[in-house]
Amino acid sequence: MQSALTAKALSCRRGDRWLFEALDLSLDAGEALYLTGPNGAGKTSLMRMLAGLLRPSPTLQGMMGTIAWSGSVAMLDERPALDMALPLGEALAFWRDIDGAQDVPFERLGIAPLLDVPVRYLSTGQKKRAALARMMGQGARNWLLDEPLNGLDVAGVALIEELVAEHCARGGTAIVTSHQPIRLPGARQLDIGTQAL
């Protein structure tokens, strides 16, 4: 199997507290990883580190962690990164201009009737679906989903489960954190709470 992610010796230090130390992580193409752990365990920090937004802290031995992805990375977190004042269609069109045209199933995401509505009028769950459309529009091979179920209804949860499964079936990878139960068939599970120093 082709390796999609190889991360070695990742550490994260916040103040004088180690969230995790010397964490090794690897993902093959088509694999999903379910990241669990209590609040404050460092799930979001690990996600941002894997996204390249946060630099790994040097370990006590002075070792720096390394992260190598094959293929592009997309991230979905609690911020939709869509212009609140713009109609949803235009807000998504901005990202389409950057990412290039991709097939995004607006109907399936349930936002097809909302494309004329300004983003700020959307509910929490609708914003989440819109952010999902933005993320899928990136056409990235690797998905980082940080609490993707927040604010979603039952149908939305099922939709995310299906989309992740299809994405992995096409050879993509997904790393998912969630406090709500999510069914990810065949996914590996990593409890980050056990990695604390």
Partner 1 sequence: MSQPLLAILRRDVSRLLRGSQHGAWGSGIALPILFFLAVAIIFPFAIGPDPRLLGRVGGGVIWVAALLAAILPLDRLVEPDIEAGFFDQWALRGIAEEGLIAIRILAHWLSFAPALMLAALPAGALLGLGGDGLRMVELGLLAGTPGLAALGVMVAAITAGLKGGAALAGLLVIPLAVPILIFGAGALASGGASGIALCGAASLVLVALAPFAGAGAVRAGR
Instruction: Provide the binding-site residues for partner 1, judged by CB under 8 A.
Output: 48, 51-54, 72-75, 77, 79-86, 94-95, 97-99, 118, 134, 138
Q: Whole-number minimum distance, CB 139 to partner 1, in Å?
A: 11
By C-beta, is 54 or 165 nearer to partner 1? 54
By C-beta, is 55 or 170 nearer to partner 1? 55
By C-beta, is 96 or 188 nearer to partner 1? 96
By C-beta, is 37 or 137 nearer to partner 1? 137
Q: Whole-number minimum distance, CB 113 to partner 1, in Å?
A: 21
Q: 3-class secondary structure for the chain? A: CCEEEEEEEEEEEECCEEEEEEEEEEEECCCEEEEECCCCCCHHHHHHHHCCCCCCCCCCCCCCCEEEECCCEEEECCCCCCCCCCEHHHHHHHHHHHHCCCCCCHHHHCCHHHCCCEHHHCCHHHHHHHHHHHHHHCCCCEEEEECCCCCCCHHHHHHHHHHHHHHHHCCCEEEEECCCCCCCCCCEEEEHHHHCC
Q: Whole-number minimum distance, CB 184 to partner 1, in Å?
A: 22
Q: Whole-number minimum distance, CB 191 to partner 1, in Å?
A: 26
